[in-house]
Structure 1
Amino acid sequence: MKYVPRVALFLAIPAILFLVPWWTLVGAPTEGTGLLFWLGTAVFALTFVGLPASMFLGHGPAQSDAASIVGDTLLGIAWVVFSWSVIGNVVGLGLAVGGVHDPARSRVVAVGVLAVSVALVVWGIIEARRVPRVRTVDVSIPGLGRGLDGLRLVVVTDTHFAALDRLRWSAKVVAVVNEQRPDIACHAGDLADGSVAKRHPQVDPLGKVDAALGRFYITGNHEYFGDAQGWIDHMASIGWQPLHNQHQTVTRNGDSLVIAGIDDPTGVGLPGHGPDLPTALAGADPHLPVVLLAHQPKQITAAAEAGVALQISGHTHGGQIWPFHYLVRLDQPVVAGLSRHGDHTQLYTSRGTGFWGPQLRVFAPSEVTVLILRSAPASS
């Protein structure tokens, strides 16, 4: 009986996702009768059962890659159709006020929702699977020495190597990173979904990233759904330095900067893990500016209190599939871009380099980020 609430919730979510689209695309335009009504209802019923079943087989104990691909794709399509069905019904209310009556009104809405949904799903798949665009942002850092002015810090994050084999995509991302001539390369977490044994071939091209002053990696929440320590060890084995509540001082032309990293908050469930900023900064020169890698934007609160100059985060994916960013915003202070927090701290939130789950990105393009650090007068 203790599992009944979880099962009910597991079934309630797809029920909500499918009920509104069913009414919009099948129930209302067919007036509940005819061959199209029964065929459409059968399709929705099969998908309603197939989504939770494939998600359980894909992400549950079985860890079936084939089921994961099916379930994730169905989830993404369901979200797109649900969102635009809601919008379509609002448009339908406007048509009703304008004097358009059923069944013509419902059929216009159904055709419009279907056309927009198909177009966005196709476009979203193309956007998700493409090599990310490069986004270049100048960041002014008070107290940054002139010898570090113009330092190029290239960020990838949320690669989420998973059931879909993206080995060639991984190699192309590495080529793009190297084309940016990074002084420092960073991976801000959510490296892969799954074990090192299953996913390391997709991750291994990252070993070819070339950054003169260092390559740094932190854990995201998804590492803690699997083998976080295994990924920390593997990234170290291919030449990246994990910052497991640690820091390193980098120097160029006689001036220095602290690069620190902390664990994702999800890590508190694993002994020896979990974010610990005081430990990460222990022994660092307090007069040097600090760039902090922290997977979730909401970790900015502690960073601002500690006087960190710049926090780099991912996690949000920019919402990934519009309008999901509105829900992300309920949990995180920022969804994407450069923002200021307190008097001395900035936060850059990447939309992510890959995608999680549904192979769709709608109005939330992926990115490889080049942060160019600029010297600025120290704040008073």
Structure 2
Amino acid sequence: MPQASPPRTSAHLVALTQEIEKKLQRALASPSQRRNLLQELFADIALEVDDRARDIIQSREDLITPAEDGNVGPLCFYDVLADHFVWVPENGRPILDLIVQLWSQSFASHIFSLLFHKWLFEVQLDNSEVLLRYSSALVQGATNVFWIDIQTNTRRFQTLFRYLLEEVALVPDRLEKIPLQAQQDLFLLVSRFIIFYDLADKLESFLKHFPDFPNAFLVGGRADIFVIELADQLQKLKVEPVLIHYLSHLKVLQGLELRMTTSTRLKTCLYSFTSPGGPMYPTRVVRHAAWEALDLLFPVGRIPRHLISLFFRLLYPWYWPSSCWNFILSCLEAVLYSLLRLVFSSWEKLRNAKRS
């Protein structure tokens, strides 16, 4: 993707970097308040840029971020600053040095991933140890901020994810700038969140760029590794709308050639969401979404699965009242929709007859 010409350096951007540097210096000098100061700084750079601030700093057309469309999240301060540190890397050097000194603190990797995710792939670093450290911090920080999006069911860090997928994972020249271990970790990270950020349409291209894994002969090919990561991600999700979103988009897995062990692992994961009670305690909406995904991906054995599920439901009488009530509601809803379709169909036929 061609990059825009370097924008004019804004005095407001310089002021922003100075404020970030001051807060990091305060955090370094105050061990007792260090975590709170870093958390406040993270919250500040993750804030959305309002219209007035956007006009003051710079227009979105000046950024390196992907072209704006309906799938791009809100423009945040970290978007602007990440571009600024690419165009004017000397302004980011003092901040980077301070983050390195705070490396082991909470939110340090969060801040690094937001501010320097583009800088890392644009500069030339000859020290392999430093490069590995930065790459590992990027993956760790990105993982943490993406989980913040999942816990709040928002897409505030979608531009970061799109950059890591579209501008790094799918661009070999940039991907090869980081060590192989970091490449593998990055692809595992993207595998876990690609459905959440609605970029599953790039799955085919993403799988083609998968790096080699040393344990591939044990777990299988690229598709197997992707599905294993996805199944593990599903097991960790506790936010109902997010879990439903994942389950409703699993249709992208149709056609993937998987090992028997991988298919069984995915099937077991989905099946765990189809029954009420522990250990998952899924809601009725989640159970239905899991059944739909299970029947879509594994149509063979559909009827026996439902019969077995019904049999085990009958062993727990305390579920009968709610099941009967939901069954009655579903029947009434189906009858109502049938009547409405019949009425509208008859009305349409009558209107057509009058016209003729």
* TM class by smaller structure: under 0.3
- More strand as a share of residues: 1
- Scaled by the length of structure 1, the TM-score of the pair is 0.23
What TM-score does the superposition give when structure 2 sets the normalisation length?
0.25
Larger fraction in helix: 2
User: Which structure is larger by alpha-carbon Rg, 1 or 2?
Assistant: 2
